Amino acid sequence: MMEGWERRKARLFFALWPDAAVRGRIAAQRPAVGRSVAEENLHLTLLFLGSVDVEQSRRLREAAATVIVPPFELRLVRLDYWSRSRVAWLGLDEAPPALLSLHRQLKAAAQKVGLALESRRYRPHVTLARDAATIAPRPIDPIHWTVTDFCLAESVLRPEGSQYLVRQRWPLRTEVGPAVGGAGATVE
């Protein structure tokens, strides 16, 4: 029997994963302080789920296949810093309603399957570096990102740092499609 990621407990999160061109523009903004996030790991977290068992994962993937959100645009416009967590990050000019709707739908699905979620306010951003020295917030030339899908990713903890693996993607759309595995969902 093959042991796939979906057949074991996993540390999961929903995210927006930029294409290579957008990732390259984001990576160019990484400050030379702290531990830079590897270019292939750059993403915008929609919802951190934590340790998820097999049945919860199955139910979450089924719920993700029913999400109704149209494609939307993001504009990353500023480099900023959180002193408490020592994180350098890129922020949006404004969170589009579609992004907030996507977050809300996924959060409702996670709560429905019994996951205990963080209670802090959702602040969409792309983490650039951890353990970063203080940097002054500043505007950047806007990075335009057309979002057409979202994904379920796994965080694998390794001695050299976390590795993020995209496990499944779903297209953003305005109509309901069939459950998991259908409607253009791709398993990676």
Q: Can you give the CATH number for the domain in which 13 is found?
A: 3.90.1140.10
Active site residue 144: no
- Taking the C-alpha atoms of residue 12 and residue 8, their distance in angstroms, rounded to an integer, is 12
- The residues of the chain scoring below 70 in pLDDT are 1-7, 176-188
* pLDDT value of residue 162: 84
* pLDDT value of residue 146: 98
- Residues in contact with 42: Cβ distance below 8 Å, sequence separation at least 6, in sequence order: 18, 23, 26, 27, 126, 127, 128
Q: Is 87 among the domain residues?
A: yes
Q: Is 47 among the domain residues?
A: yes
Q: Is 3 among the domain residues?
A: no
* pLDDT value of residue 79: 97
- Domain with 90 in it: 9-187
* pLDDT value of residue 180: 45
Q: Is 66 among the domain residues?
A: yes
Residue with structure tokens 């929903």? Answer: 14
Q: Is 98 among the domain residues?
A: yes
Catalytic residue, candidates 78, 86, 125, 173:
125
Catalytic residue, candidates 23, 25, 30, 43:
43
Q: Is 13 among the domain residues?
A: yes
* pLDDT value of residue 30: 93
Side chain identity at 60, as an amino acid letter? L
Q: Is 108 among the domain residues?
A: yes
Q: Is 4 among the domain residues?
A: no
How many domains does one find in the chain? 1
* pLDDT value of residue 7: 64
Active site residue 43: yes
* pLDDT value of residue 178: 55
